[in-house]
């Protein structure tokens, strides 16, 4: 495989300046675990060995609505995934029946494999490039040959949750990744096309959209170029060191995608809405992307490339302290000091992503008017603690799950309406439109009309479109 890798130094600079915002089942050695205060691992780390991918690139649409880069996207992503020893099925320009058929075949293959596999041993990637839209709160993927502006699009398209995500079975802990690269190249397409709704990912799933809900994804008009989303993602995956978790790699790719879009349109002096890929995840444990070459390299050196003159035991101890930190401000200080003391360590990418997420969490905590004591929880089961760690690193979905735990009295915590409200506010500030909508419902039911209206507007601004409902609101 060719290896046209962009500069790692450039990407590190990018992360440091611009970030406000797998994959056979080999548990990584215990030294890499994040440790809780009681010595229990918080997040187990897995390197799955059975890896499958289904890639669909729909380029051909009527009425000059083609997506030129779709086929190149599939070729390049296939090459990258095969480098990491994925078994890849790739298809181009599928109509509705063909899309349904290949999904059913892929689902059957996954089911047969996962039934005999250990937890965490199977990784799945689904990629779709084509047009998409949302209607009545549901997301749809448009088959080739169907005009996304037509009435036929709704009846012919596949539903993301009901038709796609359910076809990706996984034993937990495990990982299935859905990459939705719905692009717009023609401004005449009706409003709502390529305008996806926010969703909640099923357990074991990471869903990555090429752009935030409510905003179009942009694509070059040349068949010789990738979409900005896939171009950034392929470059980041080619640089993976076998240590940085896959969800962090996607965050790095999101920042790179945003930078590439801005640079492209700055060249022609056009101002466009920013394109920033958005994810929703519900992973248990963390997952790394490796192949045999990376495994052998780590086997020879013990734990990646050793730093000259650095006490490895001290480095690991400091890293574990960072992993267990439960306050955003302290987490930022610890990470910045780690960068100074251990420049170029194998945790370098994770440190930069952690700093970016903690800064977002700190800003959201302050915007919501919440005390840092919110993060100093002493109760909760393993999943609760896992989500707590993720939330203070800027994970909007983990923050939402914490709110639901307090609402329902699950995950080892008692029902607490005040804590439910606080975590919903925090999740909303992090960008979770569903949490913002649920908070508006709570305020509406309690007669707090002003707050209800404010958080409903915030949910809509974040791109969440709730399902149709009766007009029972007091405003």
Contact in structure between 36 and 278 (CB atoms under 8 Å): no
Q: Are 227 and 217 in contact (CB under 8 A)?
A: yes
pLDDT of residue 8: 38
Could you tell me the two tokens for 289?
A: 């992307």
Q: Can you give the pLDDT at residue 475?
A: 53
State whether 210 and 155 are in the same domain: yes
| Residue 3: inside a domain | no
Q: Which of 227, 240, 251, 301 is nearest to 69 (CA)?
A: 227
Model pLDDT, residue 309: 72
**384 assigned to some structural domain:** yes
223: how many CB neighbours lie within 10 A of its CB? 13
Same domain, 341 and 422: yes
* Domain shared by 281 and 404, yes or no: no
Beta carbons within 8 Å of 155's beta carbon, 6+ residues apart: none
The CATH number that applies at residue 83 is: 3.40.50.1460
Q: Which is nearest to 458 in space by CA: 447, 469, 443, 474?
A: 443
Residue 313 covered by a domain: yes
Number of domains in the chain: 2
- Domain stops at, among 220, 252, 287: 287
Asked if residue 463 belongs to a domain, the reply is no
Question: Using H for helix, E for strand and C for coil, what is the string for the chain?
Answer: CCCCCCCHHHHHHHHHHHCCCCCCCEECCHHHCCECCCCCECCCEEECCEEEEEEEECCCCCCCCCCCCHHHHHHHHHHHHHHCCCEEEEEECCCHHHHHHHHHHHHHHHHHHHCCCCCCCEEEEEEEEECEEEECCEEEECCCCCCCCCCHHHHHCEEHHHHHHHHCCCCCCCEEEEEEEEEECCCCCCCCECCCCCCCCCCCEEEEECCCCCCCEECCCCCCCCCHHHHHHHHHHHCCCCCCEHHHHHHHHHHHHHHHHHHHHHHCCCCCCCCCCEEEECCCCEEECCCHHHHHHHHHHCCCCCCCCCCHHHHHHHHHHHHHCCCHHHHHHHHHHHHHHCCCCCCHHHHHHHHHHHHHHHHHHHHCCCCHHHHCCCCCCHHHHHHHHHHCCCCHHHHHHHHHHHHHCCCCCCCCHHHHHHHHHHHHHHCCHHHHHHHHHHHHHCCCHHHHHHHHHHHHHCCCCCCCCCCCCCC
Q: Is there a single domain that holds both residue 272 and residue 314?
A: no
In a domain, 99, yes or no: yes
Answer yes or no: is 298 within a domain. no
Distance CA 175, CA 26 (A): 13
**From CA 129, how far away is CA 75, in angstroms rounded?**
12
- Strand-pair partners of 141: 132, 158
CB atoms near residue 38 (< 10 Å): 5
Last residue of a domain, one of 255, 287, 319: 287
* 187 and 57 inside one domain: yes
**pLDDT for 23:** 35
In whole angstroms, how far apart are CA 103 and each of 30, 51, 108? 37, 16, 9
What range does the domain containing 109 cover? 8-287
Which one of 253, 287, 321 terminates a domain?
A: 287
State the residue for tokens 């610890």: 334
What are the beta bridge partners of residue 27?
46
Do 28 and 174 have their domain in common?
A: yes
232 and 311, same structural domain?
no
Read off φ and ψ for residue 15, nearest 5 degrees.
-65, -40
* Residue 461 placed within a domain: no
Q: In terms of domains, do 274 and 313 share one?
A: no
Answer whether residue 328 is part of any domain. yes
Would you call 408 exposed, middle or buried from its count of C-beta atoms within 10 A (0-12, 13-18, 19+)? exposed
Q: What's the CA gap between 427 and 433, in Å, rounded? A: 8
pLDDT the model gives residue 170: 61
Residues 23 and 160 in one domain: yes
What pLDDT score does 158 carry?
Answer: 94
394 phi and psi angles, rounded to 5 deg? 90, 15
State the Cα angle at 196 between 405 and 394, rounded to 5°: 40
Residues 279, 389: one domain?
no
Q: Are 238 and 339 members of one domain?
A: no
Q: Which residue has the tokens 């003391």?
A: 341
Pair (241, 320) in one structural domain: no
As a whole number of angstroms, the distance between CA 47 and CA 400 comes to 27
> Which regions in the chain score pLDDT beneath 50?
1-41, 184-190, 194, 304, 470
């Amino acid at each position: 495989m060719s290896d046209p890798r962009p500069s790692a130094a450039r990407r590190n600079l990018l992360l440091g300046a611009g970030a406000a915002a797998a994959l056979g089942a080999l548990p990584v050695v215990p030294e890499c675990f994040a440790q809780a205060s009681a010595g229990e691992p918080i997040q187990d780390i897995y390197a799955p060995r059975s890896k499958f991918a289904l890639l669909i690139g729909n380029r051909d649409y009527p009425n000059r609505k083609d997506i030129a880069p779709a086929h190149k996207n599939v070729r390049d992503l296939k090459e990258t995934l095969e480098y990491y020893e994925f078994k890849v099925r790739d298809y181009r320009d599928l109509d509705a029946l063909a899309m349904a058929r290949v999904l059913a075949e892929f689902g059957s293959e996954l089911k047969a494999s996962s039934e005999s596999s250990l937890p965490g041993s199977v990784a799945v990637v689904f990629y779709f490039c084509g047009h998409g839209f949302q209607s009545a709160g549901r997301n749809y993927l448009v088959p080739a040959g169907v005009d996304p502006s037509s009435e036929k699009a709704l009846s012919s398209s596949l539903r993301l949750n009901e038709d796609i995500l359910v076809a990706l079975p996984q034993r937990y802990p495990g990982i299935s990744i859905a990459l939705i690269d719905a692009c717009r190249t023609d401004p005449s397409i009706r409003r709502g096309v390529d305008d996806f709704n926010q969703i909640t990912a099923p357990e074991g799933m990471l869903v990555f959209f090429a752009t935030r809900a409510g905003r179009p994804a942009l694509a070059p008009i040349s068949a010789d170029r990738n979409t900005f989303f896939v171009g950034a993602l392929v470059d980041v995956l080619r640089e993976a060191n076998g240590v940085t978790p896959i969800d962090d790699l996607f965050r790095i790719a999101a920042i790179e995608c945003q930078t590439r879009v801005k640079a492209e349109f700055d060249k022609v002096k056009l101002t466009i809405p920013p394109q920033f890929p958005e994810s929703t995840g519900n992973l248990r444990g963390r997952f790394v992307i490796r192949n045999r070459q990376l495994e052998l390299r780590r086997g020879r050196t013990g734990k990646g490339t050793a730093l000259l003159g650095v006490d490895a035991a001290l480095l690991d101890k400091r890293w574990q302290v960072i992993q267990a930190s439960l306050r955003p401000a302290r987490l930022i200080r610890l990470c910045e000091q780690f960068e100074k003391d251990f420049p170029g360590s194998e945790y370098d990418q994770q440190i930069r992503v952690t700093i970016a997420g903690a800064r977002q969490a700190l800003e959201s905590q302050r915007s919501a008017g919440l005390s840092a004591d919110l993060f100093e929880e002493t109760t909760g089961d393993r999943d609760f603690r896992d989500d707590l760690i993720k939330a203070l690193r800027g994970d909007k979905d983990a923050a939402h799950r914490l709110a639901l735990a307090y609402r329902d009295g699950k995950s080892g915590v008692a029902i607490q309406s005040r804590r439910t409200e606080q975590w919903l506010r925090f999740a909303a500030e992090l960008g979770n439109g569903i949490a913002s909508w649920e908070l508006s419902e709570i305020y509406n039911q309690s007669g707090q009309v002003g707050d209800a209206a404010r958080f409903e507007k915030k949910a809509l601004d974040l791109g969440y479109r709730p399902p149709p409902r009766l007009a029972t609101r007091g405003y």
